[in-house]
Amino acid sequence: MTLKLTDGTVITPFRTIEQGVVVIEGHQIAYVGTKNSNVPKGQKIEINGCYVSPGFIDIHVHGGGGHDVMEGTLDALDTIAQTHAKGGTTAWLATTVTAPIDEIAHALHAINQGMIAGLESAKLLGAHVEGPYLHPDQAGAQNPVHLRLPDPREYFLLLDRFPCTRRVSVAPELPGALELGNELRKRGILASIGHSNASYAEVLKAIEAGFSHVTHIYSGMSSVHRVSAYRIPGVLEATLVLDELTTEMIADGHHLPPSLMRLVLKAKGTNQVCVVTDAIAAAGLGPGQYQIGGLDVIVEDVVPDEYEVKLGPGSYVAKLVDRSAFAGSAATMIMLVRNLVNLVGLPLLEAVKMATWVPARILGLSTERGLLAPGFKADLTVFDENFNVKMTIVEGKIVYRSEL
């Protein structure tokens, strides 16, 4: 079937096309441009001055709609995909947490199955394995009881059995972690520095061993400390200064104040930083008590008086019950794009790029997703000037639609 979206502002995201047209043939984009006599024919959908951009790609999702990836069922994955599709997400990495290895294997099995079966809504790109090879001092909401050192017998089995694995977050300073990094690089899996206490020098070794990305900047990472009179930079400073590393920001407005998001972007530029939700089951739901990886978490909108900005109603976040740390977000991708524009002050084009082309490139998918261009997968998000998602299209199929 051929669909023709007309009268919208097209964000490719390298330029905007006013009164633009996007034509979709089957699973692919056939035309992007202005109205003219060469535009292919198709079933017309007027998008009435809304924006149309590539679909959002979220490379760090634990849950949504009341369900968690660790449930290890196709039903849970389906609900999570549908919940995030309402927030404009068209492709995502299902993210596991630190748990006994058989529970992680159970979740990965479902992700493998989900990729074979194909979910009805947002495309399941694969798994992001976050833990158990993380540093206990930077565990955050990862259950410290189940943290372990990388063991080749264990991870070879996991990687061989579950080809869905596309990304692994590891603390590279742990004994055996560099060998794991090398193995991931060999297999074309994104090796990400996460929940790590590494020093700057250890980060350099990690880069040599194949680590190229850093998990949720500012969360679960070392920063500068002193040894006698001398300053030893940590993962945070290494990420900010080293162009070899890409990173991701949880731009839900809670995890990072606008000033720190600006600092990250000043240091790295918008081409090296994507946004992720790091969403838990609470995404798409209201405040309350939830569970993630066997830990109780609370979801609320309470922000300290000293915090830099007041956040609008409905801007919830998950915390450990003692409120000592965040436990993931309750956001969907459209909220992050909105925050980049409204809180950080980025041009819309740049904000959209950080939710589309940049994550596609980080995952090695930028020849097929993350850009509105002929031949690319027909993954599109339509939203209005108030950042309400109006329509989400995955590989040419409308998976979510509200009133236009």
Among residues 7, 278, 305, 322, the one annotated as catalytic is 278
Task: Select from 96, 83, 92 the least CA-distant residue to 59.
Answer: 92
Inter-residue contact 182 to 203 (CB < 8 Å): no
| DSSP 8-state secondary structure symbol assigned to residue 71 | G
What gap in Å lies between CA 307 and CA 313, rounded to an integer? 16
Task: Select from 178, 195, 275 the least CA-distant residue to 236.
Answer: 195
Q: Is 323 exposed, middle or buried (0-12, 13-18, 19+ CB in 10 A)?
A: exposed
Say if strands 89-96 and 56-61 run parallel, antiparallel, or are unpaired.
Answer: parallel
Bridge partners for 115 per DSSP: none
Bridge partners for 165 per DSSP: 127
Where b means 16+ CB within 10 Å and e means fewer, 7-31 reads bbbbbbbeebbeebbbbbbeeebbb
Task: Select from 18, 11, 85 the least CA-distant residue to 53.
Answer: 11
Spell out the residues 6+ positions from residue 168 whose beta carbon is closer than 8 angstroms to its own.
128, 129, 130, 133, 180, 184, 189, 190, 191, 192
Where b means 16+ CB within 10 Å and e means fewer, 158-193 reads bbeebebbbbbbbbbbbeebbebbebbeeeebbbbb
Q: Is 313 exposed, middle or buried (0-12, 13-18, 19+ CB in 10 A)?
A: exposed
Inter-residue contact 196 to 138 (CB < 8 Å): yes
Where b means 16+ CB within 10 Å and e means fewer, 374-401 reads eebbbbbbbbeeebebbbbbbbbbebbe
Q: Is 1 exposed, middle or buried (0-12, 13-18, 19+ CB in 10 A)?
A: exposed
Q: Is 7 a catalytic residue?
A: no
What gap in Å lies between CA 403 and CA 268, rounded to an integer? 38
Catalytic residues: 278
